[in-house]
Structure 1
Amino acid sequence: GAFCIGTDQIDLAAARRAGVVVFNAPFSNTRSVAELVLGEIIMLSRQIFPRSQACHRGEWRKSATGSHEVRGKTVGIVGYGHIGSQLSVIAESLGMSVIYHDIVPKLPLGNARPAESLEALLRESDFVTLHVPDTEFTRGMIGAGEIACMRKGAYLINASRGKVVDIPALRAALDEERLAGAAIDVYPVEPAHPGEPFVSELRGLDQVILTPHIGGSTEEAQASIGREVSTALGTYLLHGSTTGSVNLPNIDVAPLREGGCRIINVHRNVPGVLSAVNRAVAESEVNVTGQSLGTIEDVGLLIVDLALGGEDPKARELCHAIAGLPTSLRTRIL
């Protein structure tokens, strides 16, 4: 179980080939991230960070210059998923106009509207906030060219994945005052443990809010993550359901019928697996009451329900026979 959203710390392909299911918690901290981003929008707009720093230095910088309400401003949300859509609703409640861009067509919530393109969103937004996964298509998606499309005086917020933004290009735009500021919670390279040195080109800039990857780090989110992942693990162990798995086919199965048993077989995704399993079942003269099959890349998952008790020697022999197939990676019986 990955008690977080990201699974960068896990070799998913190796786990898949070993027949080990991996679950994460993609929904449990979405509210926490959305709230942090909204708070950063307000702090950037009101110049809270540099003025707080000045007070700590003993300087009294009371001025309205550069401070603005967020009401009436436009926030552009890149990635209109669970976090982006929540942020959309909250931002609109403060009187902000919301536009969004997603590679998958999404119905808008409230008065939000989809932008014609990423470039159109960048041109129209006072605040651009990123909520996309780490993929080959999103790495470096906000570089010098995209930043050049943004309004002069706009703000960039990244609470998604560190490799999405070209940090040197962002630093250049801030130094040249093409952007008014930024809030960054994730970085291309992050310290592995608390207390290790943090290195970034953005350090020392008053107009930049830097946080140590704490978007989802609230006590409420951590409790919710614990429940979500442990529930998924328990459901898999008790029933064999892989709903929510990030590396095996997602198969949702009902609780096992009384008096029956269930064989779960993770196997190499090659032709002939299903016929070989069914042949073994037929030779055991056991009746099949249900069967589900799913594949993902080089691995398949087969769940077979049998009209036979799990403690029956015949069921154990059948499970052993299926586990002994050359294509089998991991097999167990419930």
Structure 2
Amino acid sequence: MKIAVFSARPYDRQSLDAANVRDDARAAFEFLYFDAVLDAHTVALAQDCEAVCVFVNDRLDAAVLEALHAQGVRALLLRCAGFNNVDVAAAQRLGLFVARVPAYSPEAVAEHTLALVMTLNRQTHRAYNRVRDGNFMLDGLLGRTLHGKTVGIVGTGQIGLATARIFHGMGCTVLGHDPCPSTAFEAIGASVALEVLLARSDIVSLHCPLTPQTHHLIDTAALAAMKPGAMLVNTSRGGLVDTHAVINALKSRHLGHLAIDVYEQESGLFFQDRSGEIIDDEVFQRLMTFPNVLVTGHQGFFTAEALQEIAQITLRNLGHFAAGTPCPNAVPPPAG
């Protein structure tokens, strides 16, 4: 069976090839790797393939799905937990098998969240550059002690829970908000309404999926409800945050800090080397002018352990498709 792997970087190839080994040391499936993002312009690359393997910024709208189906593709394998980039209704109509990786090393994203908070709070990125230039002054590097602060976790699934445990261990008061409250979270924090969480938290960290209900969850009203000077962290999906509203909140000094590993229009930027080009995304460029903003390029998941787990679960999902057996990671999830 041939599988077209889109948005494939060297680390994707390495991890998938390592997982794609049968007991006799031969490859179980034939992977065709493409650096290109899957969209209407690149869909023809999947010709003669029975499945495609995609990542967060690949576009799988109805038109792309119909083109894939017409070429003989029958399975969509997502190397990620979110599936907001897939027209699930169109996939069902076409009878396509869709499976994701619902959880891979939640601690990886949780630890990156902590890294963003600590870096921005204690200005270690700026201190690093200063010291390399021989500047040992501390002015402008003043941080705040996190112990005793209140951290709000929006989305208390596996990643949110792992993040909550880290901050709880640091002596923070942890608040959580989720339409489906986690009993495990109740052991370390208090579940509250979103308005209460925003009003009381010194740090608000987003860990929820992007759905029509959560799109621009953090908008002008939500930002106004946050404590003056609070920090907003997003390591989930860029569309959770209204970037224009965030810029206004930063300009007014109401939002104290912003740390993001995701961006609503990241598909044209992230996972690419644009260092020798002019970036014409004016909203992103405006964000980068603020000294109290820290941006990383969707690397929260990027650990050796997570890549290995993503590859293994992806191959397991592919095995279910090949065998015609029920897949626990199907999208939408199987009944029951």
Query: What's the TM-score once normalised by structure 2's chain length?
Result: 0.69
Matched residue SS, 1:191: helix
For the 8 Å contact 1:125–1:151, the answer to whether it is kept is yes
Question: Shift of residue 48 of structure 1?
Answer: 2.3
Change (3 A) 1:24 1:83: same
Cα distance in 1 for residues equivalent to 2:251 and 2:133: 23
Q: Check conservation: 2:239, 2:264, Cα contact below 8 A.
A: yes
Which of residues 300, 316, 321 in structure 2 aligns to 1:215? 300
Question: Counterparts in 2 of 1:9-20, with a 5 A limit?
Answer: 9-20=85-96
Identity among equivalent pairs (%): 33
Task: Map Cα deviations across residues 63-106 of structure 1 (whole Å, 9 max, x no partner).
Answer: 58631221111100001111101111111111111000111232
Q: 1:47 and 1:58, CA in 2 relative to 1: closer, same or farther beyond 3 A?
A: same
Q: Secondary structure at the match of 2:257?
A: strand
CA distance in 1, matches of 2:214, 2:280: 24
Indicate which of 28, 31, 35 corresponds to 2:104.
Answer: 28
Partner of 1:250: 334
> In structure 2, do the counterparts of structure 1 residues 69 and 198 end up closer, same or farther at CA, with 3 Å as the change threshold?
farther
Aligned to 1:205: 290
Structure-2 residue corresponding to 1:7:
83
> Unpaired segments of 5 or more residues in structure 2?
1-76
Equivalent residue number for residue 114 of structure 1: 191
Structure 1 segment 72-151 matched on structure 2, within 5 A: 72-107=148-183, 108-115=185-192, 117-151=193-227
Letter paired with 2:238:
G
Distance 2:218 2:116 in 1: 19
Aligned-pair CA distance for 1:139:
0.7
Q: Map Cα deviations across residues 151-192 of structure 1 (whole Å, 9 max, x no partner).
A: 111100011111111111111221222122110111111134
Structure number with larger C-alpha Rg: 1
How far the C-alpha of 1:146 sits from its partner, in A, is 0.9
Compute the displacement of 1:135 (Å).
Answer: 0.8
Q: 2:158 and 2:222 mapped to 1: Cα distance?
A: 24
Name the structure 1 match of 2:228. 152
Residue of structure 1 equivalent to 2:273: 195
Compared with structure 1, are the counterparts of its residues 209 and 90 closer, same or farther at alpha carbon in structure 2 (3 Å cutoff)? same
Report if aligned partners of 1:50, 1:207 keep a CA contact under 8 Å in 2.
no
User: What is the root-mean-square deviation of aligned Cα atoms in Å?
Assistant: 2.2
1:198–1:81 CA distance, 2 compared to 1 (3 A)? farther
| Offset at residue 22 of structure 1 (A) | 1.1
| TM-score, L = length of structure 1 | 0.69
CA distance in structure 2 between the partners assigned to 1:44 and 1:213 by the alignment = 17
Structure 1 residue 46: Cα displacement: 1.5
* Residue of structure 2 equivalent to 1:161: 237
Checking the alignment, whether the CA contact within 8 Å between 2:123 and 2:141 is kept in structure 1 is no
Q: SS where residue 87 of structure 1 aligns?
A: helix
Work out the number of aligned pairs and report it. Answer: 250
Residues 222-275 of structure 1: per-residue CA shift (max 9 Å, x gap): 11101112112213433511221014x6169xxxxxxxxxxxxxxxxxxxxxxx
**1:177 counterpart = 2:253:** yes
Alignment-derived partner of residue 70 in structure 1:
146
Q: Which runs of no fewer than 5 residues in structure 1 stay unpaired?
A: 253-334
Residue 52 of structure 1 deviates from its aligned partner by 3.3
Q: Which amino acid aligns with 2:309?
A: S
Q: Give, in whole Å, the separation in 2 of the partners of 1:33 and 1:24.
A: 17
| 3-state SS in 2 of match to 1:179 | coil
CA distance in 1, matches of 2:190, 2:237: 24
C-alpha distance 9-135 of structure 1, shift in aligned 2 (>3 A): closer
- In 2, the alpha carbon distance for the partners of 1:214 and 1:243 equals 26
Offset from partner CA, 1:97-149 (integer Å, 9 cap, x none): 1000111232224331112x111101110100011111111111111111111
Q: Greater share of strand residues, 1 or 2?
A: 1
